[in-house]
Amino acid sequence: MTNWHQLVEDHAKRTGQADLPSATVAELAAHLEDLYAAARADGTSDADARQLALDALAEAPLADLARRARRRPDSRPGATAPEPASSLWTGLVGEFRHALRQMKRAPSFAAIAVVTLGLGAGAATAIFSIVDAVLLRPLPFHEPDRLVTIWDANPERSLPRERISPVNFMDYRTIAAFDDAAAWWRPEVNLAEPDKDPVRVDTIETSANLFHMLGVSPQLGSGFPIEDTLHNRERMAIISDRFWRQQYDADPAIVGKTINAMDGPPYTIVGVMPPGFHFPDEVDLWLRLQWDLTRHSRAAHFMEGVARLKRGVDADAAARELSALTSRLATDYAATNAGWTAHLTPLLDDMLGYYRPALIVLMGAVAVLLLTACINVASLLLARAGARGREMAIRAALGASRGRLVRQMLVESLLLAAGGTLAGAIGAMAILNIALASMPVAIPRMANAGLDVRLLAFAALVTAGTAILFGLVPALIVSRTRAAEALKESGRSSTSARSRVWNRALVVAEVALASMALVASALLVQSVARMMESPIGIVPDGVVTTDLQMEVRAGVEGWNVIEQQYANLLESLRRQPGVESAGLTNALPLTIGWRLAFGIVGRIAPSHDEQVQAMFVSAGDGYFETMGARLVAGRLFDARDRHDTEPVMIINETMARRFFGDSDPIGQQISSLARQVGPLGRNLAGPVPHRVIGIIADIQQAPIGQAAEPVVYHTTRQFPFAAMAIAMRGPDASRLADAVRAAVKETNPTLALGDIETMEARLKDAAAEPRLLMFVLTAFAILTGLLAALGVYGLLAWVVNERRRELAIRLALGAKPAGLARLVTGQGLVLSIAGVAIGLVAAQALGGVLDDVLFQTRTSDPGAAFTAGALLVTAALAACAAPAIRAARVEPSEGLRD
Amino acid sequence: MGRTSIDEAKKGSAEILILALLDEREATGRHGYEIGQLIETRTNGTLRFTLTSLYSTLYRLEDRGWIRGRWVEKAGTRRRRYYRITDLGRRMLAAQREEWSRFFVALDQAASLGIKA
């Protein structure tokens, strides 16, 4: 028996290839043995057959073979399976190399997957970080969960949230559910230090117990002393850390010094609050309440209040007790309290206002985006699973164990997930920084938002989970199918068909999610547009406004001085170049005036009956002309109406309709009963009848969306305020700003001007919050829509590739290329329309979430649904284009390959 | 045609022949001796491999990932290395087949025009 193995080794040694790998030696030996055996079987003699084999060996120069053989993986003959017996570590390194090679082979796949995962994780993390900072972190007060704000409401008059009246507050304060309650109002305060420019300061005059109740102490000084009464005539002030630094250079000896306000004697500073404390919103100056809350009016709703619930008492129980009290008050003081209720809101919800529902909606949008991103990656991975499945089958056939295949796919998925997480972290930081830097409106507590690593980990977990789950599909397909089968079916396998069904379902889901997001954003766009279009009774183009405050002097003569100063200012202003008209008011459009009871001489006796109440606004001559308000009947104020002539009024159309009916209001007389309503002006001291001289079309004074109210306009000459707003009209806004500065300089250089703003900007500000939500939501919706379109594209591109052969055969059988393109486009269209339909139905079902952020827009609005559907179908059609073109360009010969 | 060109052509044809033979039996594959024998019989001895050229070609194809070898031990026989075509190999085979058929068409046309190939 010949030792062929030995023969080959000897030959190798002789020809200088002693290191020929033993696997090759074994292979050659087997070959020679076969050669010998075949010759013997043909009847060749043993010696000849042996010589034949030896000749074959001799003519083989082994050098080239040895070089190639040494490069082969299984150069050791012992291993029956080609798996190198490697350590886990070197195995993993190999898998990573393989995975990287796979990614390089399909870079666009890897890029799309990483960007999609990053987008989803990044946006989710950024928004969650903001939501966490704004909504979820507790307020920096002692046991903030027990703090509630108190608001009055009058459902009958559709006033859902009104300030409280001081006398009612003193009753509310006594209910058992409260530990304590504090109230404040917002006076206009100008500080006038002798050697400094006058400054306007955001100020509240508050009951002395506020800080104690919140559980926050000043960083300097002892604050307001706790006394039996909530007020004290001794003037005391607390300032914010910001104000202390800006105005007093952080003077450590500030406590005990005084602040000079224009409204009277100086205030003694008794405290500096810690940095960041500006309760209730952006306040820098807290004055101690100087007057008795009980000695005011139950009808005057101008105060805000906060209460601390007793420990263990929940807000509902407190609300029930308060409700019992308000119904008692409504009976006992029917004239002022009938129809009025009060309600409690958790302090945090109240501070957030519109942003709470907005952030919840936004979080929903982010969840939709994250889900879409996950579905997208899942469908991408599934689409590849068909191709990868065949590769896996081959590897399995070559002896790779199931475990090894799963490990390989796991490593590939992990690599994708890691890339996605990295992209997500970068994306989250970018989005967060952009959001913080470019936020056009102040969202409470938002400045505290920082990238939260836990949240990033959460988002990364979700996306990585998706990548891993769906990345394993090819390996699982192989585990379930016999390798040979997978190889034989090669691309037309049942597994491929199965994953195609799944893939379609995923794409439909994606489109459905995107259409939900688009419906929501379309609704918001519509809502904001409606807000901007809603009639407010003026022509805002070309109007610029600002506000200022004159120094208050005691007595009637003081008011005459103020009136004269304003008259001088206006006269100077109207002379400035670029000014067409100018006028004064104490309440610009979208600003609420004083709501007061009144009587109509000869028809309605003046009383405190709440039902006969109107908003009182002071507006000077020139104001209505400047605002472009429409005079319905009678005349506007002019120079004839002075403090020493007959008191006059202009009423709005709602007032005329509601209280005069068919009779002509012009010439009739209205009197107001208001007393003690602050620095209101001399003519309100008693029920002085005012003659109605004109009717003006309604100007919206309440926030956009609230029903029109009866409004009475006095002339500023008869009803002056120290703090007034100036409205000017002219062709050029910047010249108007210069004009008002020049007029102030000319007539009263010590006056502090407020912000100079166009009326249009003010109107935009009124819709700033929904507008912001609209922009962010639209951005998310567009992203989601793009992802969905990408999903449609991915699916179709894959289908066209898979069905190349079928398309080629159709072409060979006479189909037109355009027909093939239509076929593919039709498929994409059917899927997107199905997705849109499901999405629109789901949007209807879930639309209630949006109710709190929409203005005069219903979630069932067909326009929004149509817009969203049309946009998505268009995007899907665009996504069909490339695969359709590819289908039309299939060569008939492609059907013959493979 | 110079001698080297013929060698190149032979080399190329050897590759396509090996791929085609392995494609015929993709499930089990074939071992080296069988491949050599089949090529020799099917080309009526026109193409004959030396040991070195046969295994060099196999190793080269394996290097490129067109085929994969695997040691198999069947009951009662010696362990042999069986080669099977890979997915990539199958694609290369298809491409080469097309190229060759185009080449033959071109040759036919050239011949009908009276040009001696």
Q: What secondary structure does DSSP assign to A824-863, as a single string?
A: HHHHHHHHHHHHHHHHHHHHHHHGGGGGGG-SS--TT-HH
What are the phi and psi torsion angles at A147 (to 5°)? -95, 130
Contact (Cβ atoms closer than 8 angstroms) between residue A666 and residue A638: no
Q: How far apart are CA A830 and CA A738, in angstroms?
A: 61
ipTM of the complex: 0.83
Question: Strand locations in A264-370, DSSP E?
Answer: 267-272, 285-288, 304-309, 341-346
Higher pLDDT, A7 or A809: A7
Alpha-carbon distances, residue A857 vs A353, A354, A363, A778, B91 (angstroms): 19, 16, 21, 16, 59
With CA atoms as reference, the chain A residue closest to B72 would be A80
Contact (Cβ atoms closer than 8 angstroms) between residue A811 and residue A889: no
User: For the segment A156-196, what is each residue's pLDDT rounded down to a tens digit?
Assistant: 877 778 889 999 999 999 999 999 999 999 877 777 666 66
**DSSP conformational letter for A132:** I
Q: How far apart are CA A721 and CA A127, in angstroms?
A: 45
- Say if the Cβ atoms of A59 and B73 lie within 8 Å: no
Sequence-ordered alpha helix ranges (H) in A398-493: 402-438, 453-471, 473-480, 483-489
Q: How much of chain A exceeds pLDDT 90, in percent?
A: 20
Closest-CA distance of chain B to residue A20, Å? 12
Dihedral of alpha carbons A70, A73, A74, A76, sign: positive
Contact (Cβ atoms closer than 8 angstroms) between residue A154 and residue A162: yes
Burial class, A440, CB count within 10 angstroms (exposed 0-12 / middle 13-18 / buried 19+)? exposed
DSSP SS3 for A410: helix
- Say if the Cβ atoms of B87 and A30 lie within 8 Å: no
Closest by alpha carbon to B18, among B63, B52, B66? B66
Q: How far apart are CA A646 and CA B33, in angstroms?
A: 125
pLDDT for the residue numbered A898:
44
Closest-CA distance of chain B to residue A478, Å? 15
Residue B97 lies in a domain: yes
- Say if the Cβ atoms of A62 and B52 lie within 8 Å: yes
- Say if the Cβ atoms of A397 and B84 lie within 8 Å: yes
B56 closest CB neighbour out of A23, A68, A893: A68
With CA atoms as reference, the chain A residue closest to B95 would be A897
Size of interface A-B (CB pairs under 8 A): 95
Residue B67 lies in a domain: yes
Which residues, in sequence order, are CB contacts of A211 under 8 Å at separation 6+?
A217, A218, A223, A224, A238, A271, A273, A286
Q: How far apart are CA A808 and CA A486, in angstroms?
A: 23
Lowest mean pLDDT among A139-143, A366-370, A576-580, A604-608: A604-608
- Say if the Cβ atoms of B55 and A33 lie within 8 Å: no
B70 closest CB neighbour out of A30, A56, A82: A82
Contact (Cβ atoms closer than 8 angstroms) between residue A715 and residue A618: yes
Task: Copy the structure tokens of residue A128.
Answer: 């969650």
Burial class, A806, CB count within 10 angstroms (exposed 0-12 / middle 13-18 / buried 19+)? middle
Element spanning A723, H or E: strand A723-729
A718-A723-A725 Cα angle (round to 5): 90
Confidence grade of residue A555 (pLDDT, cut at 50, 70, 90): low
Q: How far apart are CA A727 and CA A595, in angstroms?
A: 23
Alpha-carbon distances, residue A233 vs A262, A286, A293, A304, A362 (angstroms): 17, 15, 13, 20, 48
- Say if the Cβ atoms of A72 and B90 lie within 8 Å: no
Alpha-carbon distances, residue A433 vs A117, A363, A372, A436 (angstroms): 20, 18, 24, 5
**DSSP conformational letter for A228:** S
CATH number of the domain residue B83 falls in: 1.10.10.10
**Of the segments A25-34, A133-142, A225-234, A625-634, which one has the largest average pLDDT value?**
A625-634
- Say if the Cβ atoms of B36 and A38 lie within 8 Å: no
Contact (Cβ atoms closer than 8 angstroms) between residue A725 and residue A585: yes
What is the identity of the amino acid at A495?
A: T
For residue A770, cis peptide bond before it (omega within 30 degrees of 0): no
Q: How far apart are CA A530 and CA A510, in angstroms?
A: 30
Residue B117 lies in a domain: no
Confidence grade of residue A87 (pLDDT, cut at 50, 70, 90): low
Task: Copy the structure tokens of residue A530.
Answer: 């409606």
How many structural domains is chain B composed of? 1
B94 closest CB neighbour out of A23, A488, A897: A897
Contact (Cβ atoms closer than 8 angstroms) between residue A129 and residue A432: yes
User: For the segment A500-544, what is each residue's pLDDT rounded down to a tens digit?
Assistant: 777 788 888 888 988 888 888 888 888 878 877 778 889 989 999
DSSP SS3 for A631: strand
Dihedral of alpha carbons B83, A412, B91, A68, sign: negative
- Say if the Cβ atoms of A60 and B81 lie within 8 Å: no
Closest-CA distance of chain A to residue B104, Å? 17
Task: Copy the structure tokens of residue A467.
Answer: 């990548």
With CA atoms as reference, the chain A residue closest to B88 would be A391
Which residues, in sequence order, are CB contacts of A647 under 8 Å at separation 6+?
A683, A688, A689, A690, A691, A714, A718
Confidence grade of residue B52 (pLDDT, cut at 50, 70, 90): confident
DSSP SS3 for A800: helix
Contact (Cβ atoms closer than 8 angstroms) between residue A716 and residue A724: yes
pLDDT for the residue numbered A194:
65
- Say if the Cβ atoms of A28 and B50 lie within 8 Å: no
B52 closest CB neighbour out of A65, A72, A394: A65
Confidence grade of residue A30 (pLDDT, cut at 50, 70, 90): confident
Substitution target in A3, A31, A35, A485 with the highest count of B β-carbons within 10 Å is A31
Confidence grade of residue A799 (pLDDT, cut at 50, 70, 90): confident
Question: How is A749-797 classified by DSSP, letter by letter?
Answer: TTPPB---EEHHHHHHHHTHHHHHHHHHHHHHHHHHHHHHHHHHHHHHH
Q: Considering only CB atoms, which chain B residues are within 8 Å of A38?
A: 37
Residue B94 lies in a domain: yes
Average pLDDT, chain A: 81
Q: Read off the pLDDT of each residue in A873-894 and give the average, rounded to a whole number.
A: 82
Q: Read off the pLDDT of each residue in A552-579 and give the average, rounded to a whole number.
A: 82
- Say if the Cβ atoms of B70 and A399 lie within 8 Å: yes
pLDDT for the residue numbered A610:
54
Using the predicted structure, report yes or no on whether residue A119 has a pLDDT greater than 50.
Answer: yes
A898 closest CB neighbour out of B69, B79, B94: B94
Higher pLDDT, A600 or A809: A600
- Say if the Cβ atoms of A31 and B36 lie within 8 Å: yes
pLDDT for the residue numbered A492:
46
What are the phi and psi torsion angles at A568 (to 5°)? -65, -45
Confidence grade of residue A309 (pLDDT, cut at 50, 70, 90): very high
Using the predicted structure, report yes or no on whether residue A420 has a pLDDT greater than 70.
Answer: yes
B63 closest CB neighbour out of A56, A71, A81: A71
Q: Considering only CB atoms, which chain B residues are within 8 Å of A397?
A: 84
Q: Read off the pLDDT of each residue in B10-26 and give the average, rounded to a whole number.
A: 79
Lowest mean pLDDT among A14-23, A295-304, A381-390, A505-514: A381-390
Confidence grade of residue A479 (pLDDT, cut at 50, 70, 90): low
pLDDT for the residue numbered A683:
45
User: For the segment A432-478, what is each residue's pLDDT rounded down to a tens digit?
Assistant: 888 777 766 666 667 777 777 777 787 778 777 877 777 777 666 65
Dihedral of alpha carbons A698, A702, A707, A710, sign: negative
User: For the segment A639-682, what is each residue's pLDDT rounded down to a tens digit?
Assistant: 888 877 888 899 999 999 988 888 899 999 888 765 434 344 44
Closest-CA distance of chain B to residue A91, Å? 20
Closest-CA distance of chain B to residue A383, Å? 18
What is the identity of the amino acid at A383?
A: A
Q: Read off the pLDDT of each residue in A136-160 and give the average, rounded to a whole number.
A: 84
pLDDT for the residue numbered A267:
92
Q: How much of chain A exceeds pLDDT 70, in percent?
A: 85
- Say if the Cβ atoms of A72 and B59 lie within 8 Å: yes
A68 closest CB neighbour out of B63, B69, B98: B63
List the domain range (segments joined by +) for residue B33.
Answer: 3-112
Q: Which residues of B touch A (CB under 8 A)?
A: 26-27, 31-34, 36-37, 50-52, 55-56, 59-60, 62-63, 68-73, 78-81, 84, 86-87, 90-91, 94, 98
- Say if the Cβ atoms of A30 and B78 lie within 8 Å: yes
Q: Which residue has the tokens 């004064």?
A: A584
